[in-house]
Structures are given as C-alpha cells and as structure tokens.
Amino acid sequence: MSEIQLAPKIVPRFQDELDQLRARLLVMAGQAEEQVRCAVRALVEHDSDLAERVFMGDQAINALDLEIDERCFKLLALHQPVATDLRVIVSGVKINRDLERVGDFAVNIAEAALRYMEHPPVKRLIDIPRMADLAQGMLRDALNAYVSLDTKLAAEVIERDDALDGIKGQVFRELLSYIVGNPAITEPALDLILISRHLERIGDHATNIAEEVIFIASGRAVRHHVREGSSD
C-alpha cells in the first residue's frame, strides 16, 4: 500500500530482471535441447516430418536469441551493474550465443538426417543416440549450474566432455572401416560422421557454458586450461 511497495511496479527491480534473464536462458536451453532430441530421433526413426519440425523450431530459438541479447543489453545500459551481477550478464551474452549455435547444430543434424534417409541404413544406430543423450545432459546441467552458480556441477560438465570426444573417435573409426569395405555407403556414412561431430560440438558449447559459470563464481577464467583443441 505504501509508495515503497508500489515502486517496483513502475521500474522493475534489477534483481527481478536478472532472474528473468536466467529464466529465459533456461527456456532457450530447453528448446535447444529439444531440437537436438528431435533431430536425432528423426535420424533414428527415419522420420522426415520430425526433421522438418526441427527447421520450424529454429525460428523460435532465433527469436529467443534476439530477445535475450536485448535483455542483456538493457540490463547493462539501464542498471550499470558491477562485480558478480556484471559477470552474470556478460556471461549471459556468451551463453545465449552458445545456445543459438546448439540450435544451428540441431538444424544441421536434421539436414544430414534427411539426406541419410535417402539411402538404405548403414548400421543400427547406438553410439549417436548415446552421444545425443550425453550432450543434452551436459547442456541441461551447464544451464542449471549457471542459474544456481553451482561450480561443482559446472566442473562435472567439463569433465564429461571427454566421454563425448571418445565416442566420436569410435564412430569415426567404425564408419571409416565400413566405407573402405563398401564404398557404396560413403555418402550416408559421411553424414553419420558429420552428425557425430555436430554432437561433439554441442558438448563443446555446454563446456563453454560451464566454464562461464566458474568464471562468474570465481572471477577466474578456466578456459584454455581444462581443454585444448577440442573443437572441430
């Protein structure tokens, strides 16, 4: 009833807006994760409609990308935050870009899945869905770590990246031997190799996000120490 209580309705409080930023990044991460899930399911189930749905879904992620960027920009311009709050927002800008890239990779996987469907299946797909599960879990935990500034969880995410790299190498060697044995399958086998690389890159983006969390919490950049030349 007092003016003090009314004030927040007129100018939203900084901490509320910061909470909204976190909430929107969680929404975007959820959508990116769902896009990856759909794209890999389209591949495994030879479902071209589902692949098409991934293309449509990318528009929502792109809209969120612009919205979140704008939020970060306004938070910086209007509230001129310092210390941890400033780090949360600057990291928000970077995490937003990471998530947008994950969305692009989901589209790339769906494109490769459509091409893959034009040929007889190369093999039963086990490793690629496993890679997708791993990458999705890393993404989810990285965002949870960001929202709760949980550095222990962030460190776990960074550690899990090695497993993803390991499976990628396995997939590559196996498919290479298939191609050498039967060059007729070169095209679809190459698409599987590409998909496994897209999934590994999604893990890299989750790792980037986890590294940001450690930076926010400690003011200490850990990137370039924990991983070396892991991208492709």
CA distance 104 to 32: 9
CB of 195 to a second copy, least distance (A): 10
Residue 180 touching a second copy (CB under 8 A): yes
End-to-end CA separation in angstroms for the chain: 58
Task: Please report, as residue ranges, which positions from 34 to 93 form the binding site for a second copy (by CB under 8 A).
Answer: 55, 58, 62-63, 65-66, 69, 72-73, 76-77, 80, 82-83, 86-87, 90, 93
Residue 229 touching a second copy (CB under 8 A): yes
| Token pair recorded at residue 46 | 């030879």
Site string for a second copy, 97-126 (x = CB under 8 A): x---x--xx-xx--x---------------
Residue 151 touching a second copy (CB under 8 A): no
Q: How many residues touch a second copy (CB under 8 A)?
A: 44
Show the 3-state SS of the chain.
Answer: CCHHHHHHHHCCCHHHHHHHHHHHHHHHHHHHHHHHHHHHHHHHCCCHHHHHHHHHHHHHHHHHHHHHHHHHHHHHHHHCCCHHHHHHHHHHHHHHHHHHHHHHHHHHHHHHHHHHCCCCCCCCCCHHHHHHHHHHHHHHHHHHHHHHCCHHHHHHHHHHHHHHHHHHHHHHHHHHHHHHHCHHHHHHHHHHHHHHHHHHHHHHHHHHHHHHHHHHHHCCCCCCCCCCCCCC
Comparing CB distances to a second copy, the nearer of 4 and 83 is 83
Which residue among 37, 149, 186, 217 contacts a second copy (CB under 8 A)? 186
CB of 36 to a second copy, least distance (A): 14
Which residue among 44, 155, 194, 226 contacts a second copy (CB under 8 A)? 194
CB of 19 to a second copy, least distance (A): 20
Q: What are phi and psi of 38, to 5 degrees?
A: -60, -45
Residue 140 touching a second copy (CB under 8 A): no
Comparing CB distances to a second copy, the nearer of 6 and 82 is 82
Q: Which residues bind a second copy (CB under 8 A)?
A: 55, 58, 62-63, 65-66, 69, 72-73, 76-77, 80, 82-83, 86-87, 90, 93-94, 97, 101, 104-105, 107-108, 111, 176, 179-181, 183-184, 186-187, 190, 193-194, 198, 221, 223-224, 229, 231-232
